[in-house]
């Protein structure tokens, strides 16, 4: 039994991460691939049965995992974003949630023949979307900032709101009578808000107090934060059912927006944990399905799903965005993104059992919720990215470059990259360099790139990588570390230190620097000497007749900088992993004045 449990748990994690990688590799939404993997391992093959495997531990594990995901999601929210989208978000999680609840309940009653109590509870459950499904979709879609921020805020805030709404509806159903139901609902709502808010404030206060006084070593700060989140979630749920999700979300928002202590390392830990939890939860979700659940789907159920996607969600968004600054294309995109996820499944499973105990026919609640989860994930997962492109609200894969250092030769490289059709941005603390860049018509940022303000205020639209080109190797390394959270470790670069060779011991550890640029001679002073000696920038098109080998023969001293392929994708040459130029590509390089490009 122990060995079977070990194999099952290992299989869930393995299948989850494998599905994430496979989805990334083939370019499909990860949610869709996760559901397919889970469905294959569960009802089709019979290898995984989460209910047998975990028993009574299943829903506590799911609940704690969702709480951690909501905490991480809340931590990704910046209060400053609400200046532009605050009104829309407020309306979506209040008026929009009410419209969705009432409309979904009516659709369940009219199309599916549910009794009013079950229909009302189903409507409340299907209000939620959540970060477990929204965040992967946003990563796939790459929408413009206003759409991305609106969907992110709504998806994270609506989870605890939907769970609380489900509790309120359930309390009203079992209370019976208008007066008793009203009193029960108001009491639950008041308790949820008070307990959720107070426990979140207390938990964040304890964390900040301990860290501010250095009473916790750095290596224990991330585990401590995880412990406090789980403890606060459990304490809230014990005092008031389903208030823990509100506590976890508020904790994330409060901790990431406070200024007393640095929490970036904690949030990075939670972000990595989120990927593991989301992938595992979706494998569990899909593996719990039964073939009978899908076999019972007919035209009424499909009509209900169509009503959710084509009528109810657009109606909710239309009402919520009245008078807002969102363009019609942005409103249309928001109206087509509302997939349901793990929170809907967990809440449906819990309340279906409770409703059955209260004497209602709630057996269809779970199968209908799972049907909506699968259908909405499939529809939005496959359709949102093409629709975003059609509406013009999807950002293309950013190929531009942020140059840190706007000295003369960095300015020349940036100007050549811009001439080849790519976005550039130059950052420097020397205003004379910034002025020269502006005279050349190049976008600039005046200020230090080592501050949080730079990450928050710098316009990086169209920028997909960072090149640190200053004369100070330590500043280059720190800048690379600072921008890793935006561009990822793969797309932060710095010029190698002076007297560097590829086989030498590194002056700075790999995890504390960017990838070394160009070749081992391309240090700041090495490139300065090259340009002072008359070297120039060349963009050369490679053909079958003039390939890379002939290019090197004509320009033996050339330093290739960038490779541009036929699809206008830019790749940076690095010391350890230079790209392979082929005919049909272009090379931007530094070469001596002799020879023609």
Residue 195: alpha-carbon gap to chain centroid: 29
How far apart are the C-alpha atoms of 313 and 561, rounded to whole Å? 48
pLDDT at 263: 75
Three-state DSSP at 312 gives helix
Please report the domains of the chain, with CATH numbers, ordered by start residue.
Answer: 58-391 (1.20.1530.20), 400-591 (3.40.50.720)
Furthest C-alpha separation in the chain: 92
Three-state DSSP at 124 gives helix
Three-state DSSP at 568 gives coil
How far apart are the C-alpha atoms of 397 and 418, rounded to whole Å? 16
Contact 551, 585 (CB under 8 A): no
101 contact partners, CB below 8 Å, separation of at least 6? 120, 123, 124, 127, 165
List the beta strands (DSSP E) in 407-469: 424-428, 444-446, 463-468
CA angle 169, 171, 172 (to 5 degrees): 65
pLDDT at 597: 43
pLDDT at 218: 79
Tokens 């992993």 locate to 577
pLDDT at 509: 54
Backbone angles phi and psi of 243, in degrees to 5 = -80, -15
Handedness of CA 95, 97, 103, 109 (dihedral sign): negative
How far apart are the C-alpha atoms of 74 and 583, rounded to whole Å? 48
pLDDT at 315: 94
Q: Where are the alpha helices (DSSP H) in 113-258?
A: 116-125, 131-141, 145-175, 178-212, 218-239, 244-257
How far apart are the C-alpha atoms of 389 and 140, rounded to whole Å? 12
Burial of 197 by CB count in 10 Å (0-12 exposed, 13-18 middle, 19+ buried)?
Answer: middle
How far apart are the C-alpha atoms of 569 and 155, rounded to whole Å? 32
Walk along the chain (597 residues) in steps of 10 and give the mean pLDDT of each run: 75 89 77 84 83 79 84 77 81 90 93 86 86 74 82 84 80 66 72 88 90 84 87 90 84 83 72 80 80 76 92 93 87 89 76 69 76 86 85 80 91 90 89 89 86 71 87 86 81 81 51 75 86 87 87 86 87 86 89 61
Number of C-beta neighbours around residue 345 at 10 A: 27
């Amino acid at each position: 039994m122990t060995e079977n449990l070990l194999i099952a748990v290992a299989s869930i994690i393995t299948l989850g991460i494998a599905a994430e990688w496979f989805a990334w590799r083939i370019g499909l939404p990860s949610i869709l691939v996760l559901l397919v993997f889970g469905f294959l391992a569960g009802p089709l093959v019979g290898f995984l049965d989460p209910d047998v495997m975990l028993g009574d531990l299943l829903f506590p594990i799911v609940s704690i995992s969702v709480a951690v995901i909501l905490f991480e999601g809340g931590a990704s929210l910046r209060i400053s974003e609400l200046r532009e989208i605050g009104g829309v978000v407020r309306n979506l999680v209040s008026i929009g949630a009410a419209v969705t609840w009432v409309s979904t309940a009516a659709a369940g009653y009219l199309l599916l023949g549910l009794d009013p109590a079950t229909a009302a509870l189903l409507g409340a459950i299907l209000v939620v979307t959540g970060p477990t499904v929204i965040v992967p979709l946003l990563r796939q879609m790459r929408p413009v900032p206003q759409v991305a921020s609106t969907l992110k805020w709504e998806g994270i805030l609506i989870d605890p709101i939907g769970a609380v709404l489900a509790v309120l509806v359930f309390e009203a159903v079992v209370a019976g009578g208008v007066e008793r139901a009203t009193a029960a609902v108001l009491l639950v709502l008041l308790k949820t808000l008070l307990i959720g808010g107070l426990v979140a404030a207390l938990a964040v206060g304890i964390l900040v107090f301990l860290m501010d006084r250095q009473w916790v070593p750095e290596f224990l700060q991330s585990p401590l934060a995880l412990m406090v989140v789980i403890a606060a979630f459990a304490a809230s749920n014990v005092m008031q059912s389903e208030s823990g999700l509100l506590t976890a979300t508020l904790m994330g928002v409060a901790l990431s927006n406070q200024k007393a202590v640095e929490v970036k390392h904690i949030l990075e830990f939670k972000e990595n944990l989120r990927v593991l939890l989301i992938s595992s939860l979706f494998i569990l979700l899909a593996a719990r399905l039964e073939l009978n659940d899908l076999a019972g789907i007919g035209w009424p159920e499909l009509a209900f799903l169509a009503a959710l996607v084509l009528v109810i969600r657009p109606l909710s968004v239309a009402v919520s965005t009245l008078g807002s600054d969102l363009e019609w294309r942005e409103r249309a995109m928001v109206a087509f993104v509302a997939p349901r996820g793990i929170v809907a499944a967990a809440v449906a499973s819990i309340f279906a059992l409770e409703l059955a105990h209260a004497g209602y026919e709630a057996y269809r609640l779970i199968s209908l919720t799972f049907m909506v989860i699968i259908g909405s994930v499939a529809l939005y997962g496959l359709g949102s990215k093409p629709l975003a492109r059609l509406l013009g609200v999807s950002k293309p894969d950013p190929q531009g470059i942020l140059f840190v250092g706007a000295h003369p030769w960095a300015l020349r490289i940036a100007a050549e990259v811009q001439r080849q059709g790519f976005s550039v941005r130059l950052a420097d603390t020397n205003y004379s360099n910034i002025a020269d860049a502006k005279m050349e018509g190049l976008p600039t940022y005046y200020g230090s790139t080592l501050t949080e303000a730079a990450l928050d205020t710098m316009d990086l639209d169209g920028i997909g990588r960072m090149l640190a080109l200053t004369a100070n190797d330590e500043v280059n390394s720190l800048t690379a570390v600072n921008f890793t959270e935006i561009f990822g470790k793969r797309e932060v670069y710095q010029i190698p230190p002076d007297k560097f060779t590829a086989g030498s011991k590194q002056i700075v550890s790999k995890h504390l620097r960017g990838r070394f640029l160009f070749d081992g001679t391309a240090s700041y002073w090495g490139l300065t000497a090259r340009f002072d000696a008359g070297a120039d920038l060349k963009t050369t098109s490679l053909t079958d007749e003039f390939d890379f080998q002939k290019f090197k023969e004509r320009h033996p001293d050339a330093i290739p900088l960038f490779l541009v392929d036929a699809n206008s994708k830019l790749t940076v040459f690095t010391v350890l992993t230079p790209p392979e130029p082929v005919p049909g590509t272009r090379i931007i390089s530094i070469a001596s004045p002799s020879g023609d490009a």
